[in-house]
Structures are given as structure tokens and as C-alpha cells.
């Protein structure tokens, strides 16, 4: 009877030992799940902060690029306006020069014509006398 009792106690001891170890394993799994959850939460926060910083840098870079583009456009417009003004001045000067030359040629032609008419009139007057 002692051997049966010893066998039963040994079996009970072994069952209780496995039960104790299984409780420890369950505790380990619970702890691991909590650690994983915490790590996931921390990673999500870090990712969100990184994304926010990247978005801010992108916005700043876009703003800077827009300012530089606007400035370049303004400078180009001023340069174009100056170039147009210079071209208009040159065109005006050239037109003025051509007009002077044309006026001079017309005047000279008119004077020559006047002299020719005077000579012809003189010859006609001489012939009539």
C-alpha cells in the first residue's frame, strides 16, 4: 500500500510540477505579448514623428523653391522689359535717322527740280523775246 501511495504522490507531484511550469509559460507569453505591444506602439510613434518631420521639410523646401521661382520670373520679366525698351529706342532712333535722310533727299530733289524749272523758264523767256 505504501508503494501505491508513493506512486500516487509521485504522479500528483509530477502533475503539479507541470501545472506550475505551464503557469510560468503562460506568464511568459503574456509578458512577451505586452512587450511586443509596447514596441509596436513606440515604433508607430517614431514613424509618425519621422513622417511629420519629413512633411515639414518638404513643405519648407517647396516654399523656398516657389520663392526662388517667383524671384527668377520677376527678374526675367524686368530683363525682358528692359530689352524691349532698348529695342524700341533703337527702332525709334533708326526711324528718326531714315526720316531725316528721306527728308534731306526730298529737299535736295525739290531744290534740283526747282533749279531745273527756273532754267527752263529762263530759256523759255529768252526764246519768247
Max Cα–Cα distance, the chain, nearest Å:
187
- For position 103, what pLDDT does the model report? 67
- For position 51, what pLDDT does the model report? 84
The percentage of residues in the chain with a pLDDT greater than 90, rounded to a whole number, is: 0
Burial class of 97 by CB neighbour count within 10 A (0 to 12, 13 to 18, 19+)? exposed
Cell numbers at residue 101, please? 535722310
Helix (H, G, I), strand (E, B) or coil at 1: coil
pLDDT digits (tens, 9 = 90+) for 13-35: 666 666 655 555 556 667 777 77
- For position 88, what pLDDT does the model report? 75
pLDDT digits (tens, 9 = 90+) for 4-17: 777 877 777 666 66
pTM listed for this prediction: 0.36
Amino acid at each position: 500500500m505504501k508503494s501505491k501511495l508513493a506512486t500516487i504522490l509521485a504522479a500528483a507531484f509530477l502533475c503539479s510540477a507541470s501545472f506550475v511550469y505551464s503557469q510560468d509559460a503562460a506568464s511568459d507569453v503574456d509578458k512577451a505579448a505586452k512587450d511586443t505591444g509596447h514596441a509596436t506602439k513606440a515604433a508607430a510613434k517614431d514613424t509618425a514623428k519621422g513622417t511629420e518631420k519629413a512633411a515639414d521639410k518638404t513643405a519648407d523646401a517647396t516654399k523656398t523653391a516657389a520663392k526662388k521661382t517667383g524671384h527668377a520670373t520677376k527678374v526675367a520679366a524686368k530683363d525682358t522689359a528692359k530689352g524691349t525698351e532698348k529695342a524700341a529706342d533703337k527702332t525709334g532712333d533708326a526711324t528718326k535717322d531714315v526720316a531725316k535722310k528721306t527728308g534731306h533727299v526730298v529737299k535736295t530733289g525739290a531744290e534740283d527740280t526747282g533749279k531745273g524749272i527756273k532754267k527752263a523758264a529762263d530759256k523759255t523767256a529768252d526764246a519768247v523775246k
